């Protein structure tokens, strides 16, 4: 978390998942009571390890229910959806294996901290969930279980990288199965958990971004690297019988490159499912206005 002076503070943000009430017990106030008690309990839980700034959840029942208890939907909840496609992998890319992820996550965190430390007058507070190795491995553990059961093997590639250090582009992904892959119509998806474009300085800017405010560092080479990484993801998805590749809320520069490419894609505004929502604690038992949440990507989903 950082303020307009660029002062960065590590805080605790709890993730809430798997909220469920059996149908026969719904509309009796149980879920409401549960969430009301959770708000109070999480304010101080683990506070001996640092300041508790709030909590996040991802609603699959729209934007209004959890908002009543303090979890306001993020201002944006959208993603890029691309149909998977059998294609050769670009020679520009190299597959990432699990052993590669720790160092990439470390480099990513250094860059994020630098961005968070820049003074900004646009918003009072910035917040992000750090895309650390633990987040990636949680998704990969789910992936390993599902693919071993379905196919008797696990995918080796955990992502793709292209370009020289300092101007690299990489994606870390996960294979997600909602139904058996032999079913014709399914929502099985290769989620890009985290997309990094080194030097992308417009990640904190609003969208759409003005052309004269667009980053210009190495646009051609990095654009080629980005397209190659996305094509690698499409091929990986097709190989593992996943119907789509989904990329949550890429930066304005990434959006611009995708729009200018020959990759057919759709922009999906989520209104009912995976609604990123946050509750933020203030001082003296009150609540704060929602900070600007950057890197609202799938790695933080829980």
pLDDT in tens, 175-207: 999 999 998 778 999 999 999 999 997 776 645
Taking the CA atoms of 119, 125, 128 and 129 in sequence, report the sign of the dihedral they define. positive
Per-residue pLDDT, 209: 42
For 32-85, give the secondary structure using H, E and C: HHHHHHHHHHHHHCCHHHCCEEEEEEEECCCCCCHHHHCCEECCCCEEEEEECC
For 224-249, write each residue's pLDDT tens digit: 999 999 999 999 999 999 999 999 99
Is residue 58 a contact partner of residue 275, using CB atoms and an 8 Å limit?
Answer: yes
The mean pLDDT value of the chain amounts to 92
Residues 6+ apart with CB under 8 A from 178: 186, 187, 188, 189
pLDDT digits (tens, 9 = 90+) for 151-180: 999 999 999 999 999 999 999 999 999 999
What was the pLDDT predicted at 20? Answer: 86
> Among residues of the chain, what percentage have pLDDT more than 90?
82
Cα dihedral value 106, 108, 112, 115, nearest 10 = 120
Does residue 133 surpass a pLDDT of 90?
yes
Q: Determine phi and psi for 50, rounding to 5 degrees.
A: 155, 175
- Rounded to two decimals, the pTM is 0.93
For residue 211, what are the CA distances in angstroms to 216, 256, 262? 10, 9, 20
- Residue 287 CA to residue 54 CA, distance in Å, equals 9
| Cα 89 from Cα 106, distance rounded (Å) | 27
In the 3-class helix/strand/coil scheme, how is 239-297 assigned residue by residue? HCCCCEEEEECCCHHHHHHHHCCCCCCEEEECCCCCEEEEEEECCCCCECCCCEECCCC
Tokens representing residue 300 in the block? 């933080």
Query: Residue 170 gets which letter from DSSP?
Result: E
Per-residue pLDDT tens digits for 26-79: 999 999 999 999 999 999 999 999 999 999 999 999 999 999 999 999 999 999
- Quote the CA–CA distance of 177 and 293 in Å, as a whole number: 28
Average pLDDT estimate for 269-288: 90
For a pLDDT cut of 70, what percent of the chain falls above it?
Answer: 93
Higher pLDDT, 221 or 225: 225
């Amino acid at each position: 978390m950082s303020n307009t002076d660029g002062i960065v503070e590590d805080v605790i943000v709890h993730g809430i998942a798997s909220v469920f009430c059996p149908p026969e017990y719904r509309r009796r106030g149980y879920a409401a009571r549960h969430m009301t008690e959770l708000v109070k309990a999480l304010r101080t839980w683990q506070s001996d390890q640092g300041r508790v700034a709030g909590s996040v959840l991802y609603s699959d029942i729209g934007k209004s229910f959890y908002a009543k208890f303090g979890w306001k939907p993020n201002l944006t909840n959208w993603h890029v959806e691309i149909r998977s496609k059998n294609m050769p992998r670009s020679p520009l890319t190299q597959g990432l294996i699990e052993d590669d992820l720790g160092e990439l996550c470390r480099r990513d965190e250094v860059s994020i901290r630098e961005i968070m430390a820049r003074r900004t007058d646009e918003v009072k507070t910035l917040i992000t969930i750090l895309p650390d190795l633990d987040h990636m491995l949680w998704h990969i553990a789910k992936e390993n279980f599902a693919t071993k059961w379905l196919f008797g093997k696990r995918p080796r590639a955990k992502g793709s990288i292209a370009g020289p250090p300092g101007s690299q582009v990489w994606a870390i992904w996960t294979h997600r199965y909602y139904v058996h892959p032999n079913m014709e119509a399914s929502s099985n998806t290769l989620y890009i958990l985290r997309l990094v474009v080194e030097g992308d300085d417009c990640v904190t800017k609003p969208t759409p971004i003005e052309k004269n405010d667009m980053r210009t560092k190495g646009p051609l080479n990095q654009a080629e690297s980005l397209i190659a990484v996305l094509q690698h993801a499409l091929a990986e998805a097709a190989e593992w019988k996943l119907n789509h590749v989904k990329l949550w809320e890429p930066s304005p520069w990434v959006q611009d490159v995708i729009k200018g490419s020959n990759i057919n894609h759709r922009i999906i505004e989520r209104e009912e499912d995976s609604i990123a929502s946050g509750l933020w604690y203030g001082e003296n038992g009150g609540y704060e206005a929602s900070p600007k949440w950057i890197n609202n990507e799938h790695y933080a989903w829980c």
